Amino acid sequence: MESTALRSLAPNLWVADRPLRLLVGDIGTRMTVIRLADGGLWLHSPVRLDAATRQALDGLGPVRCVVAPSKVHHFFVKDYPPVYPDARIYFAPGLPEKRKNLTFHEVLSDDAPPAWRGRPWR
């Protein structure tokens, strides 16, 4: 599925570029989407989940993993669990203490979680 909400970079690899306006100016944000071997989607550094982004993701497959990769890439994680309740939410170390209001399943470590350990993408 081709969408303006997601830009295809390669088979089973997409990005979503969005503005992110802060006091210092528009620094932009980018989410990476990878299709896993089981057909599910792995989202890295999620962007705001607007209707177009949701439709594009839903057209690609079920969202399985949402990754907040650092203590500054978490602004829009809260949008995903209500819409994708079966997705696992992964946080960078230190983020659970910073964002006590967000639910997560696992804190990232040096070992990849089973969902994407090895070569789980297509």
Helices then strands, counting H and E runs in the chain, come out as: 3, 9
Domains of the chain: 7-116 (3.60.15.10)
- pTM as predicted: 0.85
* DSSP-H helix ranges across 24-74: 51-60
pLDDT of res. 92: 85
pLDDT of res. 46: 93
Q: Calculate the alpha carbon distances from 48 to 93, 107, 114, 117, 118 in Å.
A: 22, 22, 26, 27, 29
Query: What is the DSSP-derived secondary structure letter of residue 111?
Result: S
The rounded distance, in Å, linking the Cα atoms of 24 and 39 is 39
Strand 21-22 to strand 41-44: parallel, antiparallel, or no bridges (unpaired)? unpaired
pLDDT of res. 18: 81
pLDDT of res. 52: 94
CB-count exposure of residue 69 (10 Å: 0-12, 13-18, 19+): middle
Per-residue pLDDT in tens (0 to 9) along the chain, 122 residues: 445 789 999 999 999 988 666 667 556 678 999 999 889 999 999 999 999 999 999 999 999 999 988 777 677 889 999 999 999 999 888 877 777 777 788 888 888 888 887 766 65
